Amino acid sequence: MELREWLLGLLGSGVLGYAGFAFVAWLENRSVKFTLLDAYLKRAIAWGVSAIAGALPYGAMVLMGYEAAPPDWRGWVERLFFYIFIALSTNQAAHAIDKTRADKERRELAWIEALVPTDVCDR
């Protein structure tokens, strides 16, 4: 496998979008201050990391000559939008899967707690 194929695989697979989600999860596990930030700010950070991760390999491909540079600013916007959109879509999908998993665990815990009689535990 050549570097060009590897970069194309990175750009087309959406794995770079997961990088933003994973980066925020990593920060949440390492920093209490980050955990206390507003959820929208953490989402914005994840989107920013995903957007940068989606744009860097394309820039590398242009610099290495694997892909021709777009002729004007509109061409740059269109190509970058394409790769960044893939990354952001994957980021949102990872967030939705994680949120669904957390909601399911919360519902299961509430169901289990509802089955345990409270008067028995008080004795």
Going by C-alpha positions, the residue among 16, 18, 21 that lies closest to residue 43 is 21
CA distance 116 to 69: 65
Going by C-alpha positions, the residue among 9, 25, 23, 29 that lies closest to residue 52 is 23
pLDDT tens sequence across 46-71? 889 888 988 898 999 999 999 999 99
Q: Which residue has the tokens 């989606």?
A: 54
Going by C-alpha positions, the residue among 29, 16, 19 that lies closest to residue 55 is 16
Share of the chain above pLDDT 70, in %: 94
Q: How many C-beta atoms lie closer than 10 Å to residue 11's C-beta? A: 25
pLDDT bucket at 72, cuts 50 / 70 / 90: very high
CA distances from 68 to 12, 61, 63, 77 (A): 17, 8, 9, 14
**Rounded mean pLDDT, 32-45:** 88
* pLDDT confidence of residue 120: 59
* pLDDT confidence of residue 114: 77
Q: Mean pLDDT across the chain, nearest whole number?
A: 85
pLDDT bucket at 119, cuts 50 / 70 / 90: low
* pLDDT confidence of residue 123: 54
* pLDDT confidence of residue 43: 85
* pLDDT confidence of residue 6: 87
